[in-house]
Amino acid sequence: MKMTSFLLRIDDILRRQPWTTRIGGARSALSWLTVAIVVFGMTYGAVMGVFGGVLGDRALQVLYSAIKVPLLLGATFVIGLPSFFVFNTLFGLRRDFGEAVRSLMATQAGLAIVLASLAPLTMLSYASSSDYSAALRVNGLMFAAASFAGQWLLREYYRLLIARNRRHRWMLWTWLIIYVLVGIQMAWIMRPFVGAPGAPVQFFREGSWGNAYTVVAKLICDAVFRR
């Protein structure tokens, strides 16, 4: 019965049922959304970490990856929230900020659920190829697909807010920009998520506190200007 109730609540998140964002019972809703982010984020993270196997030290990589995916989602959300609050205040939307945050939390939960649903495809790709670079690309593709689904879900959650005040449309795009910029940097800092076979298992890679954007820019420059 409890499992059925849990699955129904997960279905409610994807179907954008009112309890996920309503003011009444907000604490209970946020608790459920947090549970969904942790459970489904850890599910996909564990699958990410099994690329090099699950024996010996590699079991620790599975655990690390399981912890880091919900941590990535949560840290990106928390770091981006203060600036989002300031923008909402500047645009005169502070009164709706609580509902906006609940919509963002529901979207985070939806993103984690979509990620977990893609885990079997990631496992299939691991079984089909032992190439580490290919594994990184597959996981990048899965995160991109989940992020796209999350963006669509967020737009649906924001529909009522936009109908109330069109300036929320600007805030929707503002959040997406903030989330992407912070998320890329946080993913860079928190690597490795997959873990190269034969490499020592680490929670954080040495030199992880670099700038993701300078690395991306260098890769683009090397690709464009190399002889």
What is the pLDDT at residue 183?
93
Mean pLDDT to the nearest integer, 185-196: 89
Answer for the pair 114, 149: CB distance below 8 angstroms, yes or no. Answer: yes
User: Where does the pLDDT of residue 218 fall: very low under 50, low under 70, confident under 90, or very high at 90 and above?
Assistant: confident
User: What is the C-alpha to C-alpha distance for residues 57 and 60, in angstroms, rounded to an integer?
Assistant: 5
Mean pLDDT to the nearest integer, 48-68: 89
State what percent of residues in the chain have pLDDT above 90: 60
Q: Which residues of 115-140 are buried (b: 16+ CB within 10 A; e: fewer)?
A: bbbbbeebeebbeeeeebeebbebbe
**pLDDT over threshold 90, residue 144:** yes
User: Where does the pLDDT of residue 191 fall: very low under 50, low under 70, confident under 90, or very high at 90 and above?
Assistant: confident
Range of the domain at 70: 2-225
What is the pLDDT at residue 1?
47
- CA nearest 175: which of 143, 144, 145, 151? 151
Domain count, the chain: 1
**pLDDT over threshold 70, residue 159:** yes
User: Where does the pLDDT of residue 57 fall: very low under 50, low under 70, confident under 90, or very high at 90 and above?
Assistant: confident
User: What is the C-alpha to C-alpha distance for residues 145 and 160, in angstroms, rounded to an integer?
Assistant: 25
Tokens of 218: 């260098």
